[in-house]
Amino acid sequence: MPTVKSIVEQRQVAVQRIGQHEAGHWIVARVLGFQVGPLMLRLTGRGNEVAVAHEASATIYLQRNLPAVGDIATYLRERIQVLYAGALAQALTEGSIDELMTKEAQADNAKSDVDKAAEHLELLLNIERGGDQALLQPSARLDARNALCNELFQLAASLVQDHALEIVQIGQELAYRAAQYPSRKALLTVAEIETLLSGLSRQER
């Protein structure tokens, strides 16, 4: 039977991973040129459960001027990477992405991200290969879609891995603030995040 101490420790790790999830969306969006706003996390459960009930968000402004079809394709590619980044960041463990944990996140709290990415993938496939008659075959279309999915997933994974230190640091700060005042919204402003990142940069010199 789990002890109170083990439940508390597991909960702390779970809250940290929620923070990393939102930080992953934020960092990858920022790297890919999206305008970003604050991060938010609010713990909504009783406080004694391992599976942490919560509300969380990374503010990302998706508005872009897209005058050409190629611009739309680029936007979709980058938006899909941002969506995949949450589960990948959530799975960061000791500086590396845990593959099993990523899959578990995608089936659980990141499922809405996966579903949104799937919609964007269909549109992207139509834009990039809409005239390809071979894709009229369901199996060929599925293969093409899976290949595109894997390509963008690996690009997102590379970005998350490259920025693992920043993601974990931001996630820790967001989780700490949320845990200090349960049921209240914990916010990290862009200015506060930039200060954290500047501190990391100085440490690496």
DSSP 107-158: HTTTHHHHHHHHHHHHHHHHHHHTT-GGGGSHHHHHHHHHHHHHHHHHHHHH
How many Å apart are CA 35 and CA 120, to the nearest integer?
Answer: 20
Cβ contact 31:155 at 8 Å = no
Cβ contact 178:41 at 8 Å = yes
pLDDT at res. 49: 58
Instruction: Count Cβ atoms below 10 Å from residue 111 Cβ, excluding itself.
Output: 12
pLDDT at res. 46: 67
pTM assigned to the model: 0.92
pLDDT tens figures, 22-72: 999 999 999 999 999 999 999 987 655 556 888 999 999 999 999 999 999
pLDDT at res. 4: 42
Positive or negative, the CA dihedral 97, 100, 106, 110 is negative
pLDDT at res. 181: 85
How many Å apart are CA 129 and CA 148, to the nearest integer?
Answer: 11
- What are the distances in angstroms from CA 49 to CA 5, 12, 42? 12, 11, 15
Phi, psi of 34, deg, nearest 5: -75, 145
**50, HSE (Cβ side, Cα atoms, 13 Å):** 8
Positive or negative, the CA dihedral 41, 156, 33, 70 is negative
CA 33 from centre of chain = 15
Instruction: Count Cβ atoms below 10 Å from residue 120 Cβ, excluding itself.
Output: 16
How many Å apart are CA 173 and CA 187, to the nearest integer?
Answer: 10
Cβ contact 33:61 at 8 Å = no
For the chain, list residues with pLDDT below 50: 4-5
Closest CA to 73 of 120, 40, 107: 120
How many Å apart are CA 134 and CA 144, to the nearest integer?
Answer: 10
